[in-house]
Amino acid sequence: MTLATPLRALRRVLTVGAAAVLATAGLAPTAARADVVTPSTAPSVRMLTYNACGNVCAHEGVTAAQWAATVKTSMDNWSADTLLLTEACYGQYAALRDSLTGYQPVWLATSSGPAGCGKWTATGDKRFGMAVFVKSTAPVERLTADLPENPVDSNKRALLCAKGGIEGRTALACVTHLTHKGDRDENDEDLLNTARIQQAQAVRARVDAWSLPGNLPVILGGDFNAHPGDTEMGEFYGFQGGTGRYGEVDETDKDRFPTGCAGLNYCRSGESTHDNGKLDYIFVSADHFKTVQGDAMGRTANMSDHNLLRGAAAWE
């Protein structure tokens, strides 16, 4: 789908999945429903995104090895081609990296010192950031970009991508984590988040620069800290006012459609991935993928305050 031709999205055949549980044994559907996305029926390209909440959440009684084992099982159960990880401490990343075979990892530290990250390693390594894992036996190229700063948010925001083979096709798998803090007025209340809009625009521009010259398929996910209908998300959605070139894996869950989407086949919407609503996304380039499916999974105690989001798509 080009920016000038949003009709490409109209030709996609989309289905959606129901909620399931992220248990310590991995992912498992909660009930037999007609729209459950299962590993046996989902399209072949499989994606996961997860906000690990590595620094802030207590993770009581959970070691790095146990945390990694739970995520690994979820990846195995879903036959994940990519995992897009945000808010991960280096100890979590290293434990998962060392437990996996057949995946190529890339890591980006956005901070070197959150106190809550020290618990994940014997050395007290406090690095904090994002990671991408790509199912591949060949090395991947690591690409990074800093995003515009938010004056009221001390957290560094960035974009991390892995360029490599997914099911035999060179593709770009990217993760980002946009600011959670809005601009403030004189009463210290959040206003329109111009910083997050600028960060979203920067993500779009950088991914375009890396992918468009070679017409590379793109998988872009992470924690966007925005709701589907927010202005900044129009940088990615290719319909309903959006000028992006992507579809999102959970955009056809009619149970979650707002009133304005009644009667439509897909909508800027989806299951909540946090107590504040849908904040986590997996976008795929509409020129390269179709038949998207998505599930926001249930939560397991002491893992994260976010739901793991899994998605699938077929090649166009």
* pLDDT tens by residue, 246-289: 999 999 888 889 999 999 999 999 999 999 999 999 999 999 99
301 within some domain:
yes
Residue 34 has pLDDT above 50, yes or no: no
Give how many domains the chain has, as a whole number.
1
Give the residue carrying structure tokens 């299962």: 38
- Enumerate the β-bridge partners of residue 293: 312
Within a domain: 204: no
Q: What pLDDT score does 182 carry?
A: 76
* Residue 190: inside a domain: no
Banded pLDDT at 17 (limits 50, 70, 90): very low
Instruction: Read off the tokens for 248.
Output: 């999102």
Handedness of CA 95, 98, 100, 104 (dihedral sign): positive
Question: How confident is the model at residue 12, as a pLDDT?
Answer: 37
Per-residue pLDDT averaged across 80-107, rounded?
Answer: 98
> Could you give the percent of the chain with pLDDT greater than 70?
85
185 pLDDT tier (thresholds 50, 70, 90): low
Q: Is residue 210 part of a domain?
A: no
The answer as to whether 145 is a domain residue is: no
Coil/strand/helix, residue 170 = strand
Nearest to 297 by CA among 26, 56, 109, 41: 26
The answer, yes or no, to whether residue 58 has pLDDT greater than 80, is yes
Confidence (pLDDT) at 300: 85
144 lies in some domain: no
Q: Cite the DSSP H helix spans in the chain.
A: 64-78, 90-99, 194-211
Band (pLDDT 50/70/90 cuts) for residue 189 is low
Q: What is the mean pLDDT of residues 29-40?
A: 55
Q: Count how many Cα atoms sit within 13 Å of the Cα of residue 1 in the half-sphere of its side chain.
A: 24
Q: Which domain holds residue 43?
A: 8-139+222-315
**Distance in angstroms (rounded) separating the CA atoms of residues 186 and 170:** 49
Domain for residue 309, yes or no? yes
Q: Is 41 part of a structural domain of the chain? A: yes
- CATH of residue 18's domain is 3.60.10
d(CA 104, CA 33): 35
What residues form DSSP beta bridges with 51? 86
Reference 208, options 196, 221, 220; nearest CA is 220
